[in-house]
């Protein structure tokens, strides 16, 4: 029993030592990352000044979309809705039109809901700290960390896929980056070493992940400020790290979509108010695959009679 407890103690001690070493390495990387970012950052519209509304909007738009594509949407959105009050008061139709093409429309609806709360609870001023930001609709840990650090230099990490990749390679971690435990642990480790220039540090990590320590293909280690200390580079592990184990379960659905033409017009309908693509327009459709000979029955159920039915 005593030996067994000794083994457990040694294993835990070993883990602690590894954790300390990893945190030390990240700590050592802070300065080179900040310096590299300040010298190499790309000129992006939302980086021109530290306007929290602009940072918030850009972070939400960037969640599922490439930077280049976001730029034009961002510009148009701010021309129409230059401040939080305009966003809080905008008609949903107009809001969705401004978002058209970006997808994941709940992001836009949540922006409006959050803007209304900011108007009511914070007199139109964006809340200045992480704990208030994370209470707003559509703002999760990453976005609250990004806004509070970039706009106010609050020492909060903002861990996205880029950051997970850079840090995993830096410390040589083979933990699955798709596992929420890994993200939690990394966030915690980063919290312990956040520098005063939290905004530049977080943006530096993200920028490194996008431009140098890239997800596809070889990372550009020769241009990286961390090359001397990076475990993955020095042990030749960049192809193995980050580890991505979790499998994405895909749901397959069968549908039949109708292009109902009448007098040179095509019918569209509005979707339900809740759920996927809520309130968006679509061609009428049903949740199964039907053969041409069954189409009449479906049309009849909608009070229509079909003529010249083509597959």
Q: Which is nearer to ligand SF4, 90 or 166 (CB)?
A: 166
Q: Is 221 in the site for ligand SF4 (CB under 6 A)?
A: yes
Q: Does 213 bind ligand SF4 (CB under 6 A)?
A: yes
Tokens matching residue 22 = 């990893």
Choice from 85, 110, 116, 227 touching ligand SF4 (CB under 6 A): 227
Does 119 help bind ligand SF4 (rule: CB under 6 A)? no
Residue 169 touching ligand SF4 (CB under 6 A): yes
Binding positions for ligand SF4, 139-168, rule CB under 6 A: 166
Q: By CB under 6 A, is residue 40 in contact with ligand SF4?
A: no
Residue 62 vs 212, nearer CB to ligand SF4: 212
**What minimum distance in Å lies between the beta carbon of 261 and ligand SF4?**
54
Three-point CA angle 301, 93, 107, nearest 5°: 100
Task: Note the Cα 105 to chain centre separation in Å.
Answer: 14
Is the distance from CB of 174 to CB of 132 less than 8 angstroms? no
Q: Which is nearer to ligand SF4, 75 or 235 (CB)?
A: 235
| Closer CB to ligand SF4, 149 or 173, in the complex | 173
Residues 250 to 269 in contact with ligand SF4, rule: CB under 6 A: none
Q: Which stretch binds ligand SF4 (CB under 6 A): 184-192, 214-222, 255-263, 293-301?
A: 214-222
As a whole number of angstroms, the distance between CA 153 and CA 271 comes to 42
**For ligand SF4, how many residues bind (rule: CB under 6 A)?**
15
Which structure tokens are listed for 53? 């509304």
The question of whether 59 is a catalytic residue gets the answer yes
Write down the catalytic residue from 59, 154, 207, 210.
59
Judged by beta carbon, residue 108 or residue 212, the one nearer ligand SF4 is 212
* Pairwise CA distance, residues 96 & 109, whole Å: 8
Query: Residue 215 Cβ, how far from ligand SF4 at the closest point, in Å?
Result: 11
Distances in whole angstroms, Cα of residue 191 to Cα of each of 13, 79, 153, 201, 248: 22, 36, 13, 12, 29
Angle, CA of 170, 68 and 38, to the nearest 5°: 45
Please give the Cα distance from 285 to 254 (Å, whole number).
Answer: 10
- The distance of closest approach from Cβ of residue 223 to ligand SF4 in the complex, given in angstroms and rounded to an integer, is 8
**134 closest CA partner among 106, 101, 158:** 158
Structure tokens at 145: 């960390």
Determine, following the binding rule CB under 6 A, whether residue 170 of this chain makes contact with ligand SF4: yes
- Give the shortest CB-174-to-ligand SF4 separation in angstroms: 14
Q: How far is the CB of 168 from ligand SF4 (least distance, A)?
A: 9
Q: Are 177 and 242 within 8 A, CB to CB?
A: yes
82: left (phi over 0), alpha (psi -120 to 50) or beta: alpha
CA distances to 59, 165, 194, 254, 277 from 197, in Å: 19, 21, 8, 51, 39
Nearer to ligand SF4, 164 or 212 (CB): 212
Stretch that binds ligand SF4, among 15-23, 43-51, 133-141, 215-223 (CB under 6 A): 215-223
Q: If binding is defined by CB under 6 A, does position 233 make contact with ligand SF4?
A: yes
> Is 26 near ligand SF4 (CB under 6 A)?
no
Burial classification of residue 269, based on how many CB atoms lie within 10 Å of its CB (0-12 exposed, 13-18 middle, 19 or more buried): exposed
Contact residues: ligand SF4, CB under 6 A: 166, 169-170, 212-213, 219-221, 224, 226-227, 230, 232-233, 238
């Amino acid at each position: 029993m005593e030996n067994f407890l000794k083994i457990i103690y040694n294993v835990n001690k070993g883990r602690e030592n590894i954790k300390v070493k990893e945190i030390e390495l990240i700590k050592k990387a802070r300065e080179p990352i900040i310096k590299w970012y300040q010298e190499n950052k790309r000129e992006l519209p939302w980086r021109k000044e530290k306007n929290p509304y602009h940072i918030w909007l850009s972070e939400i738009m960037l969640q599922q979309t490439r930077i280049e594509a976001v730029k034009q949407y961002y510009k148009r959105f701010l021309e129409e809705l230059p401040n939080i009050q305009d966003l809080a008061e905008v008609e949903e139709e107009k809001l969705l039109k401004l978002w058209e093409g970006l997808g994941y429309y709940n992001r836009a609806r949540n922006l409006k809901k959050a803007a209304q709360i900011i108007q009511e609870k914070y007199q139109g001023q964006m809340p200045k700290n992480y704990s208030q930001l994370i209470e707003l609709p559509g703002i999760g840990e990453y976005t609250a960390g990004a806004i509070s650090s970039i706009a106010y230099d609050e020492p909060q990490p903002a861990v996205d896929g880029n950051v997970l990749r850079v840090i995993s390679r830096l410390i040589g971690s083979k933990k699955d980056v798709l596992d929420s435990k890994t993200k939690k642990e990394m966030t915690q480790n980063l919290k312990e070493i956040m520098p005063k220039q939290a905004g530049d540090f977080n943006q530096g990590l993200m920028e490194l992940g996008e431009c140098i320590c890239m997800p596809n293909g070889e990372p550009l280690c020769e241009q990286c400020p961390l090359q001397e200390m990076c475990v993955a580079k020095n042990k030749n592990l960049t192809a193995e790290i980050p580890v991505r184990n979790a499998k994405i379960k895909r749901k397959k659905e069968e549908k039949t979509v109708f292009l109902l033409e009448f007098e040179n017009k095509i019918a569209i309908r509005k979707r339900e108010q809740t759920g996927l693509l809520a309130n968006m327009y679509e061609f009428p459709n049903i949740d199964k695959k039907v053969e041409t000979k069954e189409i009449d029955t479906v049309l009849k159920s909608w009070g229509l009679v079909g003529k010249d039915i083509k597959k």
